[in-house]
Structure 1
Amino acid sequence: MSRLQAEHLYKVFGRRSDEAVAKLESGTGREELRADGTTAAVIDASFTVEPGQIFVVMGLSGSGKSTLLRMLNGLSEPTSGRVLFDGQDLTALSPQALRDVRSNKISMVFQHFALFPHRSVLENAGYGLEVQGVPRAERQKRAAEALEMTGLGGWEKSWPDELSGGMQQRVGLARALATDADMLLMDESFSALDPLIRRDMQDQLLVLQKRLKKTIVFITHDLNEAMRLGDRIAVMRDGEIVQLGTAEDILVTPANDYVASFTQDVDRSRVLTAGAIMADVDTAFGVTTDSGTTLRTAADVLAATPATVAESTPIIELFTPCSTSGIPVAVTDEAGELVGVVPRSRLLAVLGEPMTPGTLTDARDTAPVSTDKAVARA
């Protein structure tokens, strides 16, 4: 069962919102509704989030991403549609039952830290537990453990104004982790931070995720951040999800020109992997090594290659083996079996071609670049 399911969510502000939803379903445009004083913030949003997955919602200001997030934990009631959490329909719960879910199962990490200035770091980290009614000794213990996980061990007695912005955000993250909630909702949580601190927080989140395997919905306007963090990404525009897929799907096969415009400045070498760009093994057959051996089988390729790479290897790490090897670089799976090769020409073609809607091929062989492999988190 999916941890979270959003089913045909609409959020319309203004009079006769139900009528507005019916018009949207029949094809009326968002701008046409706006002329009547009605704003469609989210339009027919549907997706699932699996347990342990980081699901990123990416879009510019006004795209509807934060409104969508607020519907996921009941802070904003959908005009139409429903939200299922572990099979439970959140839109059908009583206010008290919904508060219980937010207190115990879904934690929020805000953009602007939301720390209490008159409480110590430890007290801030334990605030969610205090709301739950957890006894003081236990909540202090759990809060201290969460602070240790986020790199703030030893800062328990400090005050928020004694911490840097990055450290304050770590306290916010620790507060969410201390409750041991099943799901974290993170609304532009790192966007107020300086670039270096922001990347450090991304690193911290990925390290924690490997250990804790939380289900996370992460909101951002930064595509590089989305691609670095997201197992799956939803790109929003004007209230609608215009593309849903992995980072590689979005980078290699953007759904439209709008999505393609976002990918122009993305460092492909850190997003695409060997598994995503590799060619079939038989493209190496017929290649002659420096020693004069002609490769005819997969075994020949493995025997001749000076080094192999995993499918998840980011292509930035292929530059050296591709430049120094006279044969295509061998790509192996977790069992060590040969699953493909990366010829030098293929690597250069993928890096050199502009990303446009469609499927990339390289100049040497017409096999399409795969988009269903794991993305590298570099």
Structure 2
Amino acid sequence: MSSAVSPLAPTEVPEMPAIAGVRLATAAAGIRYKNRTDVLLAMLDPGTTVAGVFTQSKCPSAPVEWCRAKLKGGKARVLVVNSGNANAFTGKTGKQSTALTAQIAAKAAGCKQEEVFLASTGVIGEPLDATKFNGVLDQLAEDAEPANWMASAQAIMTTDTFAKVATATVKLGKARVNICGMAKGAGMIAPDMATMLSFVFTDAPISAPALQALLKAGVEDTFNAVTIDGDTSTSDTLLAFATGAAADNGAPKISRASDPRLKAFVKAFNEVLADLAEQVARDGEGARKLIEIVVEGAKTKQSARRIAMSIANSPLVKTAVAGEDANWGRVVMAVGKAGEPADRDKLSISFNGIRVATRGARDPSYDEKEVSAAMKQPEIQIKVALGLGKGKDRVLTCDLTKEYVAINGDYRS
């Protein structure tokens, strides 16, 4: 965890309301960090439904495998998250560790192990000593209280420089329902159905299949449209929990994602995901600039996404932005290598609204001073117009600085 807060951190933290049926507690179990919290326990009332999306890595962590298996039941009573150790690439001991953690958590919460969900973040390849949860989880189950959001978001941080939370309140039927979420992530971040770690809670009464469909759709243009360094984690996990408590206030029970009564809820839910995803981009390791890549005029949206990702993951583009250099040649390079339809002589490129290249050459009205001033802004938009079709997409990333190398050069040591 870095000591200096990212200059791109949000200036205001939202007031996070309690979610009926959710209680939270944190503790310092000494898993890796000294003198800081590193375990989060979320207690969920009976009847809570769960949905999840995970990394597509072929080397997933033991907690990811655990959650995938338990998701089929659709019910959740406890979430345990630890930072400092990813419990990934840990072989049989990794599985034993998740089983022991779940056993301790189920006992502490008085529920079945099938209703326990786990997530771990931190160093890969180090065995996780699950005995450290003994006693700690019992105490957390007693201490858990509503609306303990900021402490919870801080407990799951690794190289993050600030806690990431977001919330929305919306009407479902005639009742008001709350949505609260938290996320962690600053490096080893590229979408591949997943975020880093993120947990979203609502008191809306939504069935597990409906929640799963909402979550899967919601991540496509939020967490799946963020990249820090092009590296997909072994541990990426996004879980959503719906306690259903708002049914007591008249919220209708939703069993299908296509239910028209969900329209406002879906918008609010996706806004929470988008907010958290942007905060992750703002906290990219060593980041000094938030970069928005907009690609339009592609053959398809999918093609626009691939081109946008090619630009966003280019170290040459990202270092140019870090150096406040509007180097459109590197953008052209990234478009050309994406393997998608592109025509050099139809291409236009803009930095923060200033067109620098058009029709395959430098813009005739290009002014170096004007562009240099624009590149000093903390937020940079790179827009590429391909002129081939109606496909459009948007991706968020950050610049690549010397600090990124410093953070990752000594992370494990």
Band of TM-score, shorter chain:
under 0.3
Q: Which has the larger radius of gyration?
A: 1
Higher helix share: 1
What TM-score comes out, normalization by structure 2 length? 0.25
